[in-house]
Amino acid sequence: MPVPVGISILALSILVWAGCTRTGHSVDALESAEASRAQRMAWWQEARFGMFIHWGLYAVHGGAWEGKQYGGYSEWLMSAGIPPDEYRPLAKRFHPIEFDADQWVSLARDAGMKYIVITSKHHEGFAMWDSGVTDYDIVDATPYGRDVLGELAEACGRQGIRLGFYYSVLDWDHPDYLPRHRNDARPVGDADFNRYLDFMKAQLTELLTHYGPVAVLWFDGGWEHDPDEYRSEEMVRHVYTLQPATMINDRIALPMDFATPEQRVPEEDLPLCPWETCMTMNGSWGFNRGDTNWKSAEQLVRTLIDIASKGGNFLLNVGPTAEGTIPEASAERLREIGEWMEVNGEAIYGTERTPLDSLGWGRSTLKRLPGGDHILYLHVFERGGGEDLRIAGVGNLPARAYFLADSLVTVGARLGDEGLILTPERWIDTPHATVLALEFEGPAVVYQPPVIEAAARQLVDFMNVAITTPGTGLDIIYTLDGSTPSTGSSRYTGPIRITGDATLKCRTVYRERFLSDVVEATFQKVEPITAVSERDLRAGLRYAYYEGEWDSIPEFTAMVPAATGLTTSIDLDVRQRNENFGLRLSGFVRIPSAALIRFVLNCDDGGTLHVAGREVVNNDGLHGTQARDGYIALGAGSHPLEIEYFNRLGGKTLKVEWGARGEPPRPITPEQLFHGP
């Protein structure tokens, strides 16, 4: 059971005092968290695999309401039009007498999972612990009357599993949360969003002071306000003050410690920071009795491997029933994953993103040993015909090669023209994926085509170009005249300054042996577009506001707007509702000096940006907040600007930044925006 609230306040004061230096000067919790990020996240990046648990009152209805079974996410059913006073009585029917914390934790541990994240409060607003700031919780509002988070924390402690809490910033029940959901008819006159945030902060304090070490604080629902409105910095500073070793995800309108792609494994768009894919086993996070579309154990194992091969973590979800049991279909798959992990777990834990290109027969992971040696793990999904396995891109022989399922089976290795060739004396086929380990004395030499990195392929005066290779111990040779690089070509030692038209070609070399295909990029010197006359321009942009439901930007110019006017900034302040609306901004943007200009369009949902009649950024479609950029050469002065945007449901964002080549992007100021007569 949690400690009394009075004691938690004392604990809070002690923790805050502990965050001060001996000289009495306060140590900023955010700065400390930034400095300690690598240390805080070391266990998490070693773990790679965790369990997500979505459990709340929504388990009672199991995706059904008034006899009708709904598809999709059962935990979102309240948003289908159920007012709080009709939803709250579900608490009287929530009586999970079969809940066994040790059994849940054992299931996760035996599956090879190293941590658990459970919903402490989802969007429905119901607290799964004994909260001191509301009676709408599992102890006070249900016949069960027990604190399941406390029991789970104790079970995790006994079994060596780390515990984290999911917490929804969004709250469809709390009277002070704004904006109301579109189906919530409660008046908003007395609502005070800051009062809700005080409530949220108090609940976070309880979670962070009652249950021992909290490994992860997993926010969600942070798409309806910006960071200032959420007081996001205040909240995360508070979290780090109470639990300096915890980790925070990216769903409180700030990037924080790790990114959280949902229901997908990134392909080319791998996050630049640590990341974790969260995914359901069927089509719902919460228990949905009508959803039997289960992913197979093989699909889940291969998804785990795919994620690990890209350097990410996998948070795999279960949705327990209202009785407190994890559905057998989920448990069965977890047991099967556990059998695979018992044999092959070392090829997942503590590994990092593979240096190899995509492999037709499967995936690979890499482990760096303390002495500098490497182990390259080959996860074979479909090996095809023949007994040999070819690994393109490996340039040196392993000291030892073997199957994790049977290390005594001899595996021969030799180098060929295209890389490493393995020939086992016989194949050991393991369900879901067969894993071979290649132990190297020192680093594995992996060669790939080099990558040409430049801000753009056009330049006004000059462009600095970098060439990188993911391989180890490789050289890069290049030419700028379009000829094929040879042994006499220049060796890359640092960024290349290009001042005119050029065709850059490059390739990787290892000990004077050409290892990669030639990669090329063409650069063109361009004249900036001439600015328009500013004689009749006036401050601000014209806007046209529209309402409707779209999946992509419609033809706004053929529609009648709901409102028009002038605005001095690029944002969504002129909107008249939070969902299903569109906006078209038009006018001119002033550029202080001729340069290659980078524009960044950050939006949720879709948007496009045109300058001087040319599409510079296309960020259209249904998606969460994401940024895309584009370049255009502009002369000093004002240029025609057009921005189109739409929002369907959920979060809403529209931001535009700009910067000359080499400068960090910055917001377009009101002093740069104009419209014509």
% of the chain residues with pLDDT over 90: 75
Evaluate whether 667 touches 612 at the Cβ level (below 8 Å): no
Evaluate whether 449 touches 517 at the Cβ level (below 8 Å): yes
Where in the chain are all domains bearing CATH 3.90.182.10?
A: 538-675
Nearest CA among 65, 2, 143, 62 for reference residue 325: 62
Which of these CATH numbers, 3.30.70, 1.10.10, 2.60.40, 1.10.3470, describes 451-525?
2.60.40
Q: Which amino acid is at 111?
A: A
Neighbours of 558 (CB within 10 A): 6
Residue 485, pLDDT above cutoff 70: yes
Tokens read off for 594: 């001729």
β-pair type (434-440, 463-468): unpaired
Q: What integer best gives the mean pLDDT of the chain? A: 91
Q: Which tens digit of pLDDT belongs to each residue from 212-260?
A: 999 999 999 998 888 999 999 999 999 999 999 999 999 998 989 999 9
Tokens read off for 673: 């925006």
d(CA 177, CA 186): 11
Q: Which tens digit of pLDDT belongs to each residue from 134-173?
A: 999 999 999 999 999 999 999 999 999 999 999 999 999 9
β-pair type (374-380, 68-69): unpaired
**How much is the pLDDT for 459?**
87
Q: Which tens digit of pLDDT belongs to each residue from 370-384?
A: 999 999 999 999 987
Tokens read off for 607: 């948007």
Of the pLDDT bands very low, low, confident and very high (cuts 50, 70, 90), residue 293 is very high
**How much is the pLDDT for 487?**
83
For 423, phi then psi, to 5°, come to -130, 95
Q: Which of 6-15, 257-266, 485-494, 594-603 has the lowest mean pLDDT?
A: 6-15
Tokens read off for 196: 């809700």
Of the pLDDT bands very low, low, confident and very high (cuts 50, 70, 90), residue 26 is very low
**How much is the pLDDT for 472?**
64
**How much is the pLDDT for 140?**
98
Terminal Cα-to-Cα distance of the chain (whole angstroms): 69
Find the farthest-apart pair of alpha carbons in the chain and give their distance in angstroms, rounded.
83
Q: In the sheet where 389-392 sits, what is the strand order?
A: 389-392, 419-424, 411-416
DSSP 156-193: HHHHT-EEEEEEES--SS-TT-SSPPTT-----TT--H
177-197 mean pLDDT: 91
Residue 72, pLDDT above cutoff 70: yes
Residue 663, pLDDT above cutoff 90: no
Q: Which tens digit of pLDDT belongs to each residue from 439-476?
A: 999 999 887 788 899 888 888 888 899 998 866 677 89
d(CA 409, CA 403): 7
SS3 content of the chain, % helix, strand, coil (to 5): 20, 30, 45
Task: Measure the CA dihedral 145/149/151/157, to 10°.
Answer: -170
d(CA 142, CA 139): 6
**How much is the pLDDT for 389?**
93
**How much is the pLDDT for 243?**
97
Model pTM? 0.77
Of the pLDDT bands very low, low, confident and very high (cuts 50, 70, 90), residue 335 is very high
581-590 mean pLDDT: 96
572-601 mean pLDDT: 93
Of the pLDDT bands very low, low, confident and very high (cuts 50, 70, 90), residue 494 is very high
For the domain covering 538-675, report its CATH number: 3.90.182.10
Q: Which of 85-94, 341-350, 447-456 has the lowest mean pLDDT?
A: 447-456
Q: Which residues contact 267 (CB under 8 A, 6 or more apart)?
A: none
β-pair type (463-468, 496-498): antiparallel
For the domain covering 5-345, report its CATH number: 3.20.20.80
The answer to whether the bond into 605 is cis (omega within 30° of 0) is yes
On the CB side of 240, CA atoms within 13 Å amount to 23
**How much is the pLDDT for 172?**
96
Where in the chain are all domains bearing CATH 3.20.20.80?
A: 5-345
DSSP letter at 352 equals: B
Tokens read off for 584: 């078209």
Angle in degrees, 0-180, between the axes of helices 193-210 and 5-18, rounded to the nearest 10? 80
Nearest CA among 252, 165, 175 for reference residue 204: 165
Q: Which of 155-164, 425-434, 447-456, 509-518 has the lowest mean pLDDT?
A: 509-518
Residue 10, pLDDT above cutoff 70: no
Q: Which of 50-64, 182-196, 276-290 has the lowest mean pLDDT?
A: 182-196
Where in the chain are all domains bearing CATH 2.60.40?
A: 451-525
Q: Which tens digit of pLDDT belongs to each residue from 387-420?
A: 899 988 788 899 999 999 999 999 999 987 667 9
Residue 178, pLDDT above cutoff 70: yes
**How much is the pLDDT for 27?**
65
